[in-house]
Amino acid sequence: MSFVYARYLWLLAGVPVLMLFWGAGLWHHWRMRGRFGDLTNLEEISRVSWAGHDWLRGGLFAASLVFMIVGLARPQVLSRDVRPVPVATDVIFMLDTSPSMFARDMDPNRLGRAQHIIQQFILHKLPEDRYALVGFNYNGVILSYLTREPQTILVYFDYLNRTTEPGVGTNMGAGLVSALRVIDADERITPENRGRRRILVLISDGDDTIGQWEGPINDIVRRQLKLYTFGLGTATGAVFPLELSPRGEVIRYAVSATGERLTSKAEATTLRELARRTSARFFRGEDDRQVEAAIEEILSSGRPVAGYQSYPIRRDLYFYFFAAAFVCMLAAAFL
């Protein structure tokens, strides 16, 4: 046991002195009683205690004082706290950047909602976790390789939000290929990273329109990677732009051959199939509870434990000493 304010323990030296004065007071008290002679005559009108009663009360008051002094010195005991060490996780985000992602049936639009989901992942990031970002429409492009600094991903959000002519098409296969290239590049540079936990997260608002995802998904299954998917958009859908001004104002909408504006509705067939093939899950991106459940599964409860680490902890004991002092004082007062 150690003490934070050990200097207060010097006050314990005064306890024997106080007990000496207490004994002197008892001696004087019993000397005065002796003058009455037979004390049995007083028992009917006054309580006459046995000789050890006053010494017991004095001992309780002294014990209360000792406990208070020790409590003031703030005693501590050194113990060990064993905590699990979570496995570091790499998360590669694949973000659909096709024109329909600029539809405004979500606030501020579907692309903005997707960025919000990624930001929620960043808030739950552990120091050793790394994130990467891949954008895809007709083609896939690596925007950020695996990094422990998620601020680089946030920078690309500004770039995506300034897009004036989104690339047409939803080629999820291209996004998957780019994500695998991120992993391959990391393993080439640092071969020891091959044992790291890798998670793929694909965010889109519709089904694949190209049909090139069968090969990449088989490769993902072979590598035993999990692909979680998020679906955006509403069942009623919304019109979407093909050209925007630098301020984000719509210049030209997507229209049919007859001149009617096309509506993009939420589609999740491909997203569900991709998640199922990798033994992962599909989530609705507009539902905050589902987003929280996904983060919990990927970064918290579903994260394996690499081992356990012991941390020294000093636990305060002053509360117990003050409680003992209070009990002793009450006992002495009512004894």
Query: CB–CB of 213/177 below 8 Å?
Result: no
- pLDDT of residue 34 exceeding 80, the answer is no
Q: Rounded to a whole number, what is the distance in angstroms from the first to the last CA of the chain? A: 32
Query: Could you give the CA distance from residue 97 to residue 221 in angstroms, rounded to a whole number?
Result: 25
Confidence of residue 96 (pLDDT cuts 50, 70, 90): very high
Q: Which of 10-24, 215-229, 304-318 has the highest mean pLDDT?
A: 215-229
69 — pLDDT class (breaks 50, 70, 90)? confident
pLDDT of residue 49: 55
The more confidently predicted of residues 269 and 12 is 269
| Contact status, residue 83 vs residue 309, Cβ threshold 8 Å | yes
> Would you say residue 131 has pLDDT above 90?
yes
Residues 103 and 293: their CA atoms lie apart, in Å, by 25
Residue 96: CA count within 13 A, CB half-sphere: 32
126: pLDDT strictly greater than 60: yes
Range 46-67 average pLDDT: 73
Strand ranges, E, within the chain: 2-3, 75-86, 89-96, 130-136, 140-147, 197-204, 226-231, 238-239, 241-244, 250-253, 263-264, 282-284, 305-316
Q: Is the peptide bond before 108 cis (omega within 30 degrees of 0)?
A: yes
Tens of pLDDT, residues 200-215:
999 999 888 898 999 9
Q: Which two tokens stand for residue 211?
A: 């049909």
The model's pTM: 0.72
- Of 224 and 58, the one with more pLDDT: 224
Distance CA 311, CA 221 (A): 39
Lowest mean pLDDT among 21-25, 93-97, 111-115, 247-251: 21-25
What's the mean pLDDT in 95-119?
93
pLDDT score at 45: 47
215-228 pLDDT per residue, tens? 999 999 999 999 99
Position 253 pLDDT exceeds 60: yes
Q: Kindly state the tokens that stand for 124.
A: 């739950």
Residue 117's closest CA among 104, 138, 133? Answer: 133
Average pLDDT over residues 307-320: 83
**Could you tell me the two tokens for 168?**
């047409």
- C-alpha torsion sign, points 112, 117, 120, 124: negative
- Looking at residue 247, what is its pLDDT? 83
CA distance 326 to 335: 14
Task: Give me the residue label for tokens 């960025």.
Answer: 115
Least confident of 22-31, 86-95, 163-172: 22-31
The segment with the largest mean pLDDT, out of 75-79, 82-86, 144-148, is 144-148
Q: Residue 164: its pLDDT value, please?
A: 85
Q: Which two tokens stand for residue 227?
A: 């692909």
Please return the burial class of 193, using the count of CB atoms within 10 Å of its CB with bins 0-12, 13-18 and 19+.
Answer: middle
pLDDT for the residue numbered 113 = 95
DSSP 95-156: EE-SGGGG-SSSSS-HHHHHHHHHHHHHHT--TT-EEEEEEESSSEEEEEEEES-THHHHHH
